[in-house]
A and B are shown apart, each in its own frame.
Chain A
Amino acid sequence: MKETRSIMGMHITVEIDDPWVNEKIFNQVFDYFIAVDKRFSTYKETSEIMCINRGEISESSYSSEMREIFELAEKTKKETQGYFNIRMSNQALDPSGIVKGWAIQNAAKLLLKKGFKDFYVDAGGDIQSHGLNAKKEEWTVGIRNPFKPEEIIKRIVPKGMGVATSGTYLRGQHIYNPHAPEKELHDIVSLTVIGPNILEADRFATAAFAMGKEGIIFIEGLEGFEGYAIDSKGIATMTTGFESFTIK
Protein backbone atom coordinates (compact mmCIF):
# COMPACT_ATOMS: atom_id res chain seq x y z
CA MET A 1 0.00 0.00 0.00
CA LYS A 2 1.46 3.32 -1.07
CA GLU A 3 0.39 6.93 -0.67
CA THR A 4 1.88 10.25 -1.75
CA ARG A 5 1.00 13.67 -0.40
CA SER A 6 2.44 17.12 -0.93
CA ILE A 7 3.65 18.56 2.37
CA MET A 8 6.50 20.96 3.22
CA GLY A 9 6.58 21.97 -0.43
CA MET A 10 7.58 18.53 -1.64
CA HIS A 11 6.17 15.12 -2.37
CA ILE A 12 6.21 12.67 0.50
CA THR A 13 5.61 9.03 -0.35
CA VAL A 14 5.06 6.25 2.15
CA GLU A 15 4.81 2.62 1.10
CA ILE A 16 4.03 -0.11 3.61
CA ASP A 17 3.90 -3.74 2.52
CA ASP A 18 3.14 -5.53 5.77
CA PRO A 19 -0.16 -7.40 5.33
CA TRP A 20 -1.79 -5.66 8.31
CA VAL A 21 -1.29 -2.19 6.86
CA ASN A 22 -4.27 0.18 7.08
CA GLU A 23 -5.21 3.71 6.15
CA LYS A 24 -4.95 4.92 9.72
CA ILE A 25 -1.18 4.57 9.84
CA PHE A 26 -0.77 6.66 6.67
CA ASN A 27 -2.78 9.44 8.26
CA GLN A 28 -0.61 9.29 11.37
CA VAL A 29 2.60 9.53 9.35
CA PHE A 30 1.38 12.38 7.17
CA ASP A 31 -0.06 14.21 10.17
CA TYR A 32 3.37 14.04 11.73
CA PHE A 33 4.95 15.70 8.67
CA ILE A 34 2.25 18.38 8.71
CA ALA A 35 3.04 19.10 12.37
CA VAL A 36 6.77 19.33 11.60
CA ASP A 37 6.07 21.73 8.76
CA LYS A 38 3.88 23.87 11.00
CA ARG A 39 6.68 24.18 13.53
CA PHE A 40 9.74 24.51 11.29
CA SER A 41 8.59 26.06 8.03
CA THR A 42 10.37 29.29 7.19
CA TYR A 43 7.56 29.98 4.72
CA LYS A 44 4.91 30.11 7.44
CA GLU A 45 4.86 33.35 9.42
CA THR A 46 3.24 31.59 12.38
CA SER A 47 5.79 28.79 12.67
CA GLU A 48 7.86 28.54 15.81
CA ILE A 49 11.08 29.06 13.87
CA MET A 50 9.75 32.31 12.38
CA CYS A 51 8.64 33.51 15.82
CA ILE A 52 12.15 32.76 17.07
CA ASN A 53 13.66 34.65 14.15
CA ARG A 54 11.50 37.66 14.98
CA GLY A 55 12.62 37.46 18.61
CA GLU A 56 9.12 36.76 19.90
CA ILE A 57 10.04 33.66 21.88
CA SER A 58 12.68 33.51 24.57
CA GLU A 59 15.08 30.62 24.55
CA SER A 60 13.60 29.14 27.70
CA SER A 61 10.27 28.60 25.98
CA TYR A 62 11.53 26.80 22.87
CA SER A 63 9.74 23.49 22.24
CA SER A 64 11.66 20.29 22.92
CA GLU A 65 11.60 19.54 19.17
CA MET A 66 13.19 22.91 18.45
CA ARG A 67 15.88 22.31 21.07
CA GLU A 68 16.59 18.90 19.60
CA ILE A 69 17.02 20.37 16.12
CA PHE A 70 19.27 23.16 17.38
CA GLU A 71 21.42 20.63 19.22
CA LEU A 72 21.65 18.43 16.12
CA ALA A 73 22.54 21.47 14.01
CA GLU A 74 25.27 22.51 16.44
CA LYS A 75 26.68 18.99 16.50
CA THR A 76 26.67 18.81 12.72
CA LYS A 77 28.31 22.21 12.44
CA LYS A 78 31.20 20.97 14.63
CA GLU A 79 31.50 17.71 12.71
CA THR A 80 31.68 19.48 9.36
CA GLN A 81 34.16 22.28 10.12
CA GLY A 82 31.35 24.80 10.01
CA TYR A 83 30.09 23.85 6.59
CA PHE A 84 26.76 22.93 8.05
CA ASN A 85 25.31 26.08 9.53
CA ILE A 86 21.65 26.87 10.04
CA ARG A 87 22.45 30.54 10.60
CA MET A 88 22.07 32.27 7.27
CA SER A 89 24.11 35.26 6.16
CA ASN A 90 21.27 37.54 7.26
CA GLN A 91 21.54 36.03 10.78
CA ALA A 92 18.17 34.28 10.52
CA LEU A 93 18.01 30.61 11.46
CA ASP A 94 16.89 28.16 8.80
CA PRO A 95 17.08 24.55 9.97
CA SER A 96 15.48 23.14 6.79
CA GLY A 97 18.75 21.39 5.97
CA ILE A 98 18.37 19.07 8.95
CA VAL A 99 14.63 18.98 9.62
CA LYS A 100 13.74 16.85 6.62
CA GLY A 101 16.07 13.95 7.43
CA TRP A 102 15.10 14.16 11.09
CA ALA A 103 11.39 14.05 10.24
CA ILE A 104 11.82 11.06 7.91
CA GLN A 105 13.78 9.30 10.62
CA ASN A 106 11.02 9.96 13.18
CA ALA A 107 8.33 8.80 10.72
CA ALA A 108 10.24 5.55 10.23
CA LYS A 109 10.56 5.17 14.01
CA LEU A 110 6.81 5.66 14.31
CA LEU A 111 6.17 2.89 11.78
CA LEU A 112 8.53 0.53 13.61
CA LYS A 113 6.86 1.33 16.92
CA LYS A 114 3.50 0.44 15.39
CA GLY A 115 4.88 -2.95 14.37
CA PHE A 116 5.51 -2.38 10.67
CA LYS A 117 8.73 -3.69 9.19
CA ASP A 118 8.47 -3.60 5.39
CA PHE A 119 8.24 0.03 4.32
CA TYR A 120 9.94 3.13 3.05
CA VAL A 121 9.45 6.84 3.61
CA ASP A 122 10.55 9.16 0.80
CA ALA A 123 10.45 12.93 1.31
CA GLY A 124 11.65 14.90 -1.68
CA GLY A 125 14.09 12.21 -2.77
CA ASP A 126 15.54 11.47 0.68
CA ILE A 127 14.75 7.93 1.69
CA GLN A 128 14.60 5.62 4.67
CA SER A 129 13.64 2.06 3.83
CA HIS A 130 13.22 -0.95 6.09
CA GLY A 131 12.72 -4.65 5.51
CA LEU A 132 11.65 -5.87 2.08
CA ASN A 133 9.38 -4.71 -0.73
CA ALA A 134 6.07 -6.27 -1.82
CA LYS A 135 7.95 -8.90 -3.85
CA LYS A 136 9.90 -9.87 -0.73
CA GLU A 137 13.07 -8.46 -2.28
CA GLU A 138 15.47 -5.77 -1.10
CA TRP A 139 14.28 -2.22 -1.76
CA THR A 140 16.05 -0.59 -4.70
CA VAL A 141 16.76 3.13 -5.02
CA GLY A 142 17.65 4.89 -8.28
CA ILE A 143 19.79 8.02 -8.42
CA ARG A 144 18.21 10.60 -10.67
CA ASN A 145 20.22 12.16 -13.49
CA PRO A 146 20.52 15.81 -12.39
CA PHE A 147 20.55 16.91 -16.03
CA LYS A 148 17.73 14.66 -17.18
CA PRO A 149 15.25 14.05 -14.38
CA GLU A 150 13.41 11.19 -16.05
CA GLU A 151 16.59 9.16 -16.22
CA ILE A 152 18.16 6.87 -13.60
CA ILE A 153 21.94 6.77 -13.63
CA LYS A 154 22.64 4.42 -10.73
CA ARG A 155 20.77 1.69 -8.88
CA ILE A 156 21.40 1.20 -5.17
CA VAL A 157 20.35 -1.45 -2.68
CA PRO A 158 20.49 0.48 0.61
CA LYS A 159 19.70 -2.53 2.85
CA GLY A 160 18.05 -0.40 5.50
CA MET A 161 20.50 2.49 5.33
CA GLY A 162 19.40 6.05 4.59
CA VAL A 163 19.86 7.60 1.14
CA ALA A 164 19.90 11.39 0.72
CA THR A 165 20.69 13.52 -2.31
CA SER A 166 21.59 17.19 -2.25
CA GLY A 167 21.48 19.25 -5.41
CA THR A 168 21.79 22.84 -6.53
CA TYR A 169 18.43 23.08 -8.24
CA LEU A 170 16.48 21.73 -5.31
CA ARG A 171 14.20 24.52 -3.99
CA GLY A 172 16.44 27.12 -5.51
CA GLN A 173 19.88 27.78 -4.07
CA HIS A 174 19.05 26.78 -0.52
CA ILE A 175 22.46 25.26 -0.04
CA TYR A 176 25.35 27.66 0.12
CA ASN A 177 28.89 27.70 1.36
CA PRO A 178 28.84 29.51 4.72
CA HIS A 179 32.52 30.34 4.25
CA ALA A 180 31.73 32.12 0.98
CA PRO A 181 27.98 32.81 1.03
CA GLU A 182 28.04 35.03 -2.03
CA LYS A 183 29.61 32.38 -4.22
CA GLU A 184 27.19 30.24 -6.14
CA LEU A 185 27.82 26.53 -5.89
CA HIS A 186 28.10 24.87 -9.22
CA ASP A 187 31.04 22.54 -9.23
CA ILE A 188 29.03 19.62 -7.90
CA VAL A 189 25.40 19.51 -9.01
CA SER A 190 24.30 16.39 -7.15
CA LEU A 191 25.66 14.49 -4.17
CA THR A 192 24.06 11.26 -2.98
CA VAL A 193 25.05 9.96 0.45
CA ILE A 194 24.31 6.54 1.91
CA GLY A 195 24.49 6.62 5.71
CA PRO A 196 23.54 4.60 8.79
CA ASN A 197 20.08 6.20 8.69
CA ILE A 198 18.38 9.01 6.83
CA LEU A 199 19.07 11.62 9.50
CA GLU A 200 22.80 10.92 9.28
CA ALA A 201 22.81 10.64 5.49
CA ASP A 202 20.87 13.88 5.06
CA ARG A 203 22.87 16.09 7.40
CA PHE A 204 26.19 14.97 5.93
CA ALA A 205 24.89 15.18 2.37
CA THR A 206 23.90 18.79 2.97
CA ALA A 207 27.22 19.73 4.55
CA ALA A 208 29.39 17.83 2.07
CA PHE A 209 27.51 19.37 -0.82
CA ALA A 210 28.42 22.82 0.48
CA MET A 211 32.09 21.78 0.37
CA GLY A 212 31.96 21.52 -3.43
CA LYS A 213 34.54 19.22 -4.95
CA GLU A 214 36.02 18.39 -1.56
CA GLY A 215 32.69 17.05 -0.32
CA ILE A 216 33.12 13.55 -1.67
CA ILE A 217 36.54 13.34 -0.02
CA PHE A 218 34.93 14.37 3.25
CA ILE A 219 32.37 11.54 2.85
CA GLU A 220 35.19 9.14 2.02
CA GLY A 221 36.68 9.92 5.40
CA LEU A 222 33.45 9.22 7.33
CA GLU A 223 33.12 5.70 8.59
CA GLY A 224 29.81 4.09 7.68
CA PHE A 225 29.08 6.52 4.83
CA GLU A 226 29.38 6.22 1.07
CA GLY A 227 28.80 8.88 -1.58
CA TYR A 228 28.33 9.55 -5.28
CA ALA A 229 29.01 13.12 -6.48
CA ILE A 230 28.17 14.40 -9.96
CA ASP A 231 29.84 17.54 -11.27
CA SER A 232 28.51 20.11 -13.70
CA LYS A 233 30.06 18.25 -16.62
CA GLY A 234 28.39 14.94 -15.88
CA ILE A 235 31.41 13.26 -14.31
CA ALA A 236 30.73 11.27 -11.17
CA THR A 237 33.16 10.56 -8.33
CA MET A 238 32.38 7.78 -5.86
CA THR A 239 33.72 6.71 -2.51
CA THR A 240 35.65 3.45 -2.32
CA GLY A 241 32.82 1.40 -0.81
CA PHE A 242 30.02 2.87 -2.89
CA GLU A 243 29.93 0.12 -5.46
CA SER A 244 29.14 -2.49 -2.82
CA PHE A 245 25.68 -0.90 -2.74
CA THR A 246 25.07 -0.73 -6.48
CA ILE A 247 23.47 -3.15 -8.90
CA LYS A 248 23.63 -3.05 -12.68
Chain B
Amino acid sequence: MITPELKNYLRQKLAQGATRQEISTTLLGSGWTSDDIAEGFSSLATGATVLTPTVPVQTVVRRVSPVPSRFGKKATISGALIVASIVYAVYQNILLSAQPTTSNVVGTTVPVQTAVSVPVTSPASVATSIPVAKTQPVTTPTPVQTPAPTPTPVVTKPKGQYVDGTYTGSPADAYYGTIQVQAVIQNGALADVIFLQHPSDRGTSVRINNYAMPILKQEAISAQSANVNIVSGASDSSGAFQQSLASALSQAKS
Protein backbone atom coordinates (compact mmCIF):
# COMPACT_ATOMS: atom_id res chain seq x y z
CA MET B 1 0.00 0.00 0.00
CA ILE B 2 1.42 3.38 -0.90
CA THR B 3 1.81 5.94 1.83
CA PRO B 4 2.30 9.70 1.94
CA GLU B 5 5.91 9.03 2.93
CA LEU B 6 6.42 7.01 -0.21
CA LYS B 7 4.92 9.74 -2.34
CA ASN B 8 7.05 12.40 -0.69
CA TYR B 9 10.08 10.26 -1.23
CA LEU B 10 9.31 9.72 -4.90
CA ARG B 11 8.60 13.38 -5.40
CA GLN B 12 11.85 14.42 -3.78
CA LYS B 13 14.03 11.91 -5.56
CA LEU B 14 12.53 12.87 -8.92
CA ALA B 15 13.13 16.51 -8.10
CA GLN B 16 16.73 15.63 -7.32
CA GLY B 17 17.09 14.16 -10.78
CA ALA B 18 17.07 10.46 -9.94
CA THR B 19 15.70 8.15 -12.61
CA ARG B 20 12.69 5.96 -11.98
CA GLN B 21 14.91 2.93 -12.36
CA GLU B 22 17.27 4.10 -9.64
CA ILE B 23 14.46 4.93 -7.29
CA SER B 24 12.73 1.62 -7.92
CA THR B 25 15.89 -0.34 -7.26
CA THR B 26 16.41 1.39 -3.92
CA LEU B 27 12.81 0.88 -2.85
CA LEU B 28 12.69 -2.74 -3.92
CA GLY B 29 15.76 -3.26 -1.77
CA SER B 30 13.93 -1.93 1.25
CA GLY B 31 10.88 -4.10 0.93
CA TRP B 32 8.48 -2.20 -1.31
CA THR B 33 6.76 -4.15 -4.03
CA SER B 34 6.96 -3.15 -7.66
CA ASP B 35 3.18 -2.66 -7.60
CA ASP B 36 3.49 -0.17 -4.75
CA ILE B 37 6.22 1.69 -6.57
CA ALA B 38 4.31 1.78 -9.84
CA GLU B 39 1.21 2.95 -8.01
CA GLY B 40 3.27 5.60 -6.25
CA PHE B 41 4.60 6.95 -9.52
CA SER B 42 1.20 6.92 -11.16
CA SER B 43 -0.36 8.71 -8.19
CA LEU B 44 2.18 11.47 -8.71
CA ALA B 45 1.54 11.57 -12.41
CA THR B 46 -2.22 11.86 -12.05
CA GLY B 47 -1.99 14.38 -9.29
CA ALA B 48 -4.12 12.17 -7.08
CA THR B 49 -2.78 13.85 -4.01
CA VAL B 50 -4.83 16.95 -3.54
CA LEU B 51 -3.77 17.65 -0.01
CA THR B 52 -1.86 20.69 -1.09
CA PRO B 53 -0.90 22.56 2.03
CA THR B 54 -1.94 26.12 2.39
CA VAL B 55 1.13 28.29 2.66
CA PRO B 56 1.28 28.99 6.35
CA VAL B 57 1.37 32.50 7.64
CA GLN B 58 4.46 33.20 9.67
CA THR B 59 3.45 32.96 13.26
CA VAL B 60 5.76 33.67 16.13
CA VAL B 61 4.33 31.88 19.10
CA ARG B 62 6.55 33.51 21.61
CA ARG B 63 9.94 35.07 21.81
CA VAL B 64 12.23 35.90 24.64
CA SER B 65 14.21 38.56 22.87
CA PRO B 66 14.34 39.92 19.39
CA VAL B 67 16.32 37.49 17.30
CA PRO B 68 18.20 38.88 14.35
CA SER B 69 17.30 36.96 11.27
CA ARG B 70 20.87 36.91 10.01
CA PHE B 71 21.46 33.99 12.34
CA GLY B 72 19.22 32.03 10.08
CA LYS B 73 21.68 32.17 7.25
CA LYS B 74 24.69 31.51 9.39
CA ALA B 75 23.53 28.50 11.23
CA THR B 76 20.94 26.79 9.19
CA ILE B 77 20.71 23.11 9.77
CA SER B 78 18.10 20.70 8.68
CA GLY B 79 14.68 20.92 10.24
CA ALA B 80 14.77 17.32 11.30
CA LEU B 81 18.05 17.71 13.12
CA ILE B 82 17.10 20.86 14.90
CA VAL B 83 13.77 19.43 15.94
CA ALA B 84 15.49 16.33 17.22
CA SER B 85 18.04 18.35 19.11
CA ILE B 86 15.45 20.68 20.53
CA VAL B 87 13.33 17.93 21.93
CA TYR B 88 16.39 16.22 23.27
CA ALA B 89 17.51 19.42 24.89
CA VAL B 90 14.09 20.13 26.34
CA TYR B 91 13.94 16.62 27.62
CA GLN B 92 17.34 17.05 29.22
CA ASN B 93 16.04 20.19 30.85
CA ILE B 94 13.10 18.31 32.26
CA LEU B 95 15.24 15.44 33.45
CA LEU B 96 18.32 17.16 34.64
CA SER B 97 17.29 20.56 35.78
CA ALA B 98 16.33 20.57 39.41
CA GLN B 99 15.19 24.16 39.20
CA PRO B 100 12.69 25.75 36.92
CA THR B 101 14.38 26.81 33.75
CA THR B 102 14.13 30.20 32.23
CA SER B 103 11.85 28.88 29.58
CA ASN B 104 8.24 28.14 30.13
CA VAL B 105 8.24 25.94 27.09
CA VAL B 106 9.03 23.16 29.49
CA GLY B 107 6.23 24.11 31.83
CA THR B 108 5.07 20.57 31.87
CA THR B 109 1.45 21.13 32.74
CA VAL B 110 0.85 23.81 30.15
CA PRO B 111 -0.28 22.31 26.88
CA VAL B 112 -0.90 25.66 25.23
CA GLN B 113 2.11 25.74 22.93
CA THR B 114 -0.02 25.18 19.93
CA ALA B 115 2.78 24.49 17.53
CA VAL B 116 4.65 22.11 19.79
CA SER B 117 2.45 19.31 18.66
CA VAL B 118 2.81 16.00 16.99
CA PRO B 119 3.73 17.36 13.57
CA VAL B 120 7.15 18.13 15.04
CA THR B 121 7.67 14.42 15.41
CA SER B 122 6.18 13.61 12.07
CA PRO B 123 8.14 11.17 9.98
CA ALA B 124 7.50 13.49 7.05
CA SER B 125 10.08 15.87 8.46
CA VAL B 126 12.78 13.30 7.86
CA ALA B 127 12.98 14.41 4.34
CA THR B 128 14.98 11.90 2.39
CA SER B 129 14.97 8.65 4.25
CA ILE B 130 13.45 5.72 2.44
CA PRO B 131 9.87 5.22 3.50
CA VAL B 132 9.33 1.93 5.21
CA ALA B 133 7.13 -0.51 3.35
CA LYS B 134 4.02 -1.21 5.33
CA THR B 135 4.16 -4.96 5.02
CA GLN B 136 7.61 -5.58 6.38
CA PRO B 137 8.99 -5.29 9.89
CA VAL B 138 10.20 -1.80 10.56
CA THR B 139 13.89 -1.51 9.97
CA THR B 140 16.08 1.46 10.41
CA PRO B 141 15.46 3.67 7.41
CA THR B 142 18.55 3.96 5.27
CA PRO B 143 19.36 7.58 4.75
CA VAL B 144 19.96 7.88 1.06
CA GLN B 145 21.16 11.37 1.12
CA THR B 146 21.69 13.59 4.09
CA PRO B 147 20.66 17.12 3.28
CA ALA B 148 24.20 18.26 4.08
CA PRO B 149 23.60 20.33 7.16
CA THR B 150 26.25 22.63 8.45
CA PRO B 151 28.10 20.54 11.01
CA THR B 152 26.97 21.57 14.43
CA PRO B 153 27.80 20.36 17.90
CA VAL B 154 24.17 20.62 18.88
CA VAL B 155 23.18 17.08 18.03
CA THR B 156 26.30 15.31 19.12
CA LYS B 157 27.08 16.59 22.58
CA PRO B 158 25.31 14.77 25.38
CA LYS B 159 23.98 16.09 28.67
CA GLY B 160 22.48 19.25 27.24
CA GLN B 161 25.86 20.88 26.78
CA TYR B 162 25.29 23.06 23.75
CA VAL B 163 27.05 26.00 22.27
CA ASP B 164 25.37 29.29 23.08
CA GLY B 165 23.64 31.04 20.23
CA THR B 166 20.49 31.09 18.20
CA TYR B 167 19.95 28.36 15.66
CA THR B 168 17.37 28.41 12.92
CA GLY B 169 16.16 25.16 11.48
CA SER B 170 15.37 24.95 7.82
CA PRO B 171 11.66 24.68 7.04
CA ALA B 172 10.42 21.13 7.52
CA ASP B 173 7.49 19.75 5.62
CA ALA B 174 4.80 18.54 7.99
CA TYR B 175 2.67 17.31 5.11
CA TYR B 176 -0.12 19.81 5.57
CA GLY B 177 2.17 22.77 6.12
CA THR B 178 5.61 23.89 7.05
CA ILE B 179 7.27 24.04 10.40
CA GLN B 180 10.31 26.15 11.09
CA VAL B 181 11.78 26.69 14.51
CA GLN B 182 14.56 28.63 16.12
CA ALA B 183 16.38 27.36 19.18
CA VAL B 184 17.99 29.74 21.65
CA ILE B 185 20.82 28.22 23.65
CA GLN B 186 21.98 30.07 26.74
CA ASN B 187 24.57 28.83 29.22
CA GLY B 188 24.82 25.57 27.35
CA ALA B 189 21.15 24.76 27.72
CA LEU B 190 18.06 25.32 25.67
CA ALA B 191 16.48 28.57 26.77
CA ASP B 192 13.75 28.98 24.22
CA VAL B 193 12.12 27.60 21.14
CA ILE B 194 10.61 30.05 18.72
CA PHE B 195 8.25 28.93 16.03
CA LEU B 196 8.86 30.97 12.91
CA GLN B 197 6.34 29.02 10.90
CA HIS B 198 3.72 26.50 11.72
CA PRO B 199 0.65 25.41 9.86
CA SER B 200 -2.04 27.81 10.98
CA ASP B 201 -4.52 27.45 8.18
CA ARG B 202 -4.88 23.97 6.87
CA GLY B 203 -8.03 24.49 4.93
CA THR B 204 -10.21 21.52 4.30
CA SER B 205 -9.47 19.26 1.44
CA VAL B 206 -11.41 16.16 0.73
CA ARG B 207 -10.22 13.24 -1.24
CA ILE B 208 -11.26 9.72 -1.83
CA ASN B 209 -8.98 7.12 -0.40
CA ASN B 210 -8.32 5.15 -3.56
CA TYR B 211 -6.09 2.38 -2.30
CA ALA B 212 -7.97 1.04 0.69
CA MET B 213 -11.18 -0.93 0.62
CA PRO B 214 -13.76 0.17 1.49
CA ILE B 215 -13.59 3.68 0.17
CA LEU B 216 -13.64 6.07 3.08
CA LYS B 217 -13.80 9.82 3.03
CA GLN B 218 -10.84 11.79 4.31
CA GLU B 219 -10.33 15.39 5.28
CA ALA B 220 -7.80 17.57 7.02
CA ILE B 221 -9.03 18.32 10.50
CA SER B 222 -10.07 21.90 11.09
CA ALA B 223 -11.48 23.91 13.97
CA GLN B 224 -15.24 23.93 14.43
CA SER B 225 -17.52 25.83 16.73
CA ALA B 226 -16.75 24.99 20.33
CA ASN B 227 -20.43 25.23 21.18
CA VAL B 228 -20.97 21.72 22.52
CA ASN B 229 -22.28 20.20 25.75
CA ILE B 230 -19.55 17.58 26.20
CA VAL B 231 -16.08 16.96 24.80
CA SER B 232 -14.76 13.58 23.69
CA GLY B 233 -11.03 13.26 23.37
CA ALA B 234 -8.01 11.60 24.76
CA SER B 235 -8.58 12.75 28.31
CA ASP B 236 -7.21 15.59 30.32
CA SER B 237 -4.53 16.83 28.04
CA SER B 238 -1.85 18.06 30.39
CA GLY B 239 0.29 15.14 29.36
CA ALA B 240 0.09 15.79 25.64
CA PHE B 241 3.12 18.02 25.51
CA GLN B 242 5.33 15.62 27.42
CA GLN B 243 4.05 12.73 25.37
CA SER B 244 4.88 14.55 22.20
CA LEU B 245 8.37 15.18 23.53
CA ALA B 246 8.85 11.64 24.69
CA SER B 247 7.83 10.12 21.39
CA ALA B 248 9.98 12.59 19.51
CA LEU B 249 12.85 11.74 21.79
CA SER B 250 12.63 8.08 20.98
CA GLN B 251 12.94 9.00 17.32
CA ALA B 252 15.84 11.31 18.06
CA LYS B 253 17.68 8.44 19.71
CA SER B 254 17.43 6.07 16.79
Contacts and interface: CB of A to CB of B under 8 A. Distances in A.
Interface of A: 10-11, 13, 15, 120, 122, 124-127, 129, 133, 139-156, 163-172, 183-184, 186, 189-190, 192, 216-217, 220, 230, 232-240, 243, 248
Interface string B224-238: 111111111111110
Given A125-B235, A155-B225, 19 more contacts: A120-B230, A125-B233, A125-B234, A127-B232, A140-B230, A141-B232, A152-B228, A153-B224, A155-B227, A186-B247, A216-B216, A220-B216, A230-B221, A232-B118, A232-B119, A234-B221, A235-B175, A237-B218, A238-B217
B140 to A, nearest CB: 14
A240 B226 CA distance: 24
Given A216-B216, A220-B214, A236 B233 contact: no
11 contacts: A139-B229, A139-B230, A151-B223, A167-B234, A190-B234, A217-B213, A233-B124, A234-B119, A234-B221, A235-B176, A238-B216
Given A234-B221, A237-B218, A144 B234 contact: yes
Nearest to B241: A169
Interface stretch (B28-36, B83-91, B109-117): B109-117
Contact of A236 (B117, B221, B236, B240): B221
A149 B233 contact: yes
Nearest to A13: B230
A144 B243 contact: no
A143 B233 contact: yes
B220 interface: yes
A217 B236 contact: no
B216 A234 contact: no
B17 to A, nearest CB: 27
A184 B250 contact: yes
Contacts, number: 169
Interface string B191-225: 00000000100100000010011101111111111
A133 to B, nearest CB: 5
A192 B232 contact: yes
Interface of B: 4, 51, 111-112, 114, 117-119, 121-124, 138, 174-176, 199, 202, 209, 212-214, 216-237, 239-240, 243-244, 247, 250
A156 B199 CA distance: 26
A144 B228 CA distance: 11
Contact of A152 (B119, B219, B231): B231
Contacts of B237: 144, 149, 169
Contacts of A133: 229
Contacts of A140: 227-230
Contacts of B111: 149
Contact of B230 (A141, A217, A233): A141
A189 B118 contact: yes
Contacts of B214: 217, 220, 240
B232 A236 contact: no
Contact of B219 (A146, A183, A236): A236
A167 B247 contact: no
A149 B240 contact: yes
A194 B113 CA distance: 30
A167 B122 contact: no
A177 to B, nearest CB: 12
Nearest to B199: A234
A237 B214 CA distance: 12
A143 B232 contact: yes
Contact of B122 (A150, A233, A239): A233
Nearest to B239: A169
Nearest to A229: B216
Contact of B229 (A120, A167, A168): A120
